[in-house]
Structure 1
């Protein structure tokens, strides 16, 4: 049972996926720091707040007890974080991959595969039968004589079924 688990873990795809998760977590930490510390502080300064997490709107209470604060700064920070990650992935992964696929398409013209021997043989048989049928129709009597499909006379001189 443990050998199967060991084989599963040591497969290349699982290790590649684990490495991608670790790198993604580190990348997310970097992007979060940039979005909150750099861009978040710029946005907070524009709206006269200490940090982006404090951005919000005070809604006065009907009873006059105080105000309810709706904080949307963390939502702005999360959206900013998402946009940065999406932009980096687009420009570092999607654009180069599209260029690579376009170059592959230009370089590789689709080759028309040659027909197999079976197909060639069947085409030759079809052509011979068509030629035989055309020669038989042009012969005396116009119907090709009293022969069946195998070339022999049928019972009472009748022809056999026509082959396509």
Structure 2
């Protein structure tokens, strides 16, 4: 039981649960905004009854525009309302606990370059031009 309690209290589990609940609530708000405000404005530009029926030639451009706008708005809301504040909160908590920000780690390519340079130094060869 102690292990389960520890698992539930981990930051990632709590953050994920909050993100799902808040994300669901924000999705309803964003969808309402897009359906009630954005879509009618764009449909009016195409002289259509609704955005889904807006066409350019044979293409239903309204469907694509509506999906793109919806995606961009949802992504922006999730980033600015969830991701950014959680990152700031984590940074503030880490600072309070005395944990310094992570230093940049070496990539696989950097490590391979170091290995190559060490092997060259051991064999006494010089790099090719």
TM-score when normalising by structure 1: 0.43
**Alpha-carbon shift at residue 90 of structure 1 (Å):** 0.9
**Alpha-carbon shift at residue 73 of structure 1 (Å):** 0.5
**Any runs of at least 4 consecutive aligned residues in structure 1 with deviations exceeding 6 A, and if so which?**
none
**Alpha-carbon shift at residue 104 of structure 1 (Å):** 2.3
Q: Distance in 2 between matches of 1:91 and 1:48?
A: 33
> 1:70 aligns to what?
59
Structure 1: gaps spanning 5 or more residues: 1-11, 59-68, 111-164
Between Structure 1 and Structure 2, how many residues are aligned?
Answer: 88
**Alpha-carbon shift at residue 107 of structure 1 (Å):** 2.1
**Alpha-carbon shift at residue 52 of structure 1 (Å):** 0.7
> 1:92 aligns to what?
81
Q: Do residues 108 (structure 1) and 107 (structure 2) align?
A: no
Higher relative contact order, structure no. (Cα contacts within 8 Å, ≥ 6 residues apart): 2
What's the secondary structure of 2:47's corresponding residue?
A: coil
**Alpha-carbon shift at residue 88 of structure 1 (Å):** 1.2
Cα 1:27–1:94 change in 2 (3 A) is closer
Which structure has the bigger radius of gyration?
1
What's the secondary structure of 1:56's corresponding residue?
A: coil
TM-score when normalising by structure 2: 0.53
Greater share of helix: 2
Greater share of strand: 1
What's the secondary structure of 1:50's corresponding residue?
A: coil
